[in-house]
Amino acid sequence: MSVAPMMDWTDRHCRYLHRLLSQHTLLYTEMVTTGALVHGDVQRHLRLNAEEHPVALQLGGSEPADLAHCARLGEQWGYDEINLNCGCPSERVQRGAFGACLMNEPQLVADCVKAMVDVVQMPVTVKHRIGIDQDESYGFVRDFVGTVAAAGCTVFIVHARNAWLKGLSPKENREVPPLRYEVVRQLKADFPQLTFAINGGLNTDAAVQEQLAGLDGVMVGREAYHNPWWLARWDALYYGAPPSTLTREDVEAAMVDYMAREAAAHGTPWASIARHMLGLRHGLAGSRRWRQVWSDHRLKGLPPHEVMALAHASPVEA
């Protein structure tokens, strides 16, 4: 199991929350562009908590030398995997000549992968779509995987939708192109020696288990973010761990302690951490008011332990 890289969401605070819920699920950073690491603040982009492992760094880029440099940085900062983004369809990413448009240049992707494989000891993986625009020919993605695998990539995370490079927003690209899970299963049949994880629209235990019957892994995106308590079942369901005794209150209290440490060490406002746990009480009575308290910026001057007390007070007491 893994939680997808999601821009503006899967930062180190979000990953800390997810690791409290599951000890074994593979976590991913937001996509970090090579330009941000070559020219920007490396610490800001790569700092991570020791508790996050196993955690993968997702890179966005298309220059083999820059990707090799950034992969080395990822290794130095202690990440467990380097992942190359070949799936993001946003126009901003396209202007940088990376993301999903790279699927049109499989040999370039292979060169990028080889450049990284040659300089790090950890796995180098690729996340991609099953096609570009309205071309649904299986041969396109089969040849892409074959070319990239020859360069040393053995793990492919496949978002089972095409990416439409024109005419759809990133949100629409997650919803409009049809899901075609059978394409990923065909890839596994044609490349049994490779590892395939599937991504896209999987939001129930039954759906995950159906895919794991024929594939090597499942990556969950937005459902894991909006309903993080789901992760608390995964260690028992998929890793042979005993059933979790965690409660939502345990997790919230641990996050509040983390907020206090982050404020003391880095001056991090608690609100930038609390936003990631707003789905923790998803579906429970009183969850709406609990979310309102934790997202109330008028309370930002209070210590997080006091905010937690307010969140659990009755409306009359508050």
Q: Annotated catalytic sites, by residue?
A: 88
Q: Which residues pair with 125 in a beta bridge?
A: 83
Q: What whole-number distance in Å separates Cα of residue 25 and Cα of residue 231?
A: 8
The SS3 assignment for 134 reads coil
Q: What whole-number distance in Å separates Cα of residue 314 and Cα of residue 318?
A: 6
Listed in sequence order, the residues at least 6 apart from 132 whose beta carbon sits closer than 8 Å to its beta carbon are: 100, 101, 103, 104, 140, 162, 163, 164, 165
In terms of DSSP H, where are the helices of 96-200?
A: 106-117, 138-149, 170-173, 181-190
Identify whether the C-beta of residue 102 lies closer than 8 Å to the C-beta of residue 62. Answer: yes
Distance of CA 149 to the CA centre of its chain: 22
Q: What whole-number distance in Å separates Cα of residue 274 and Cα of residue 278?
A: 7
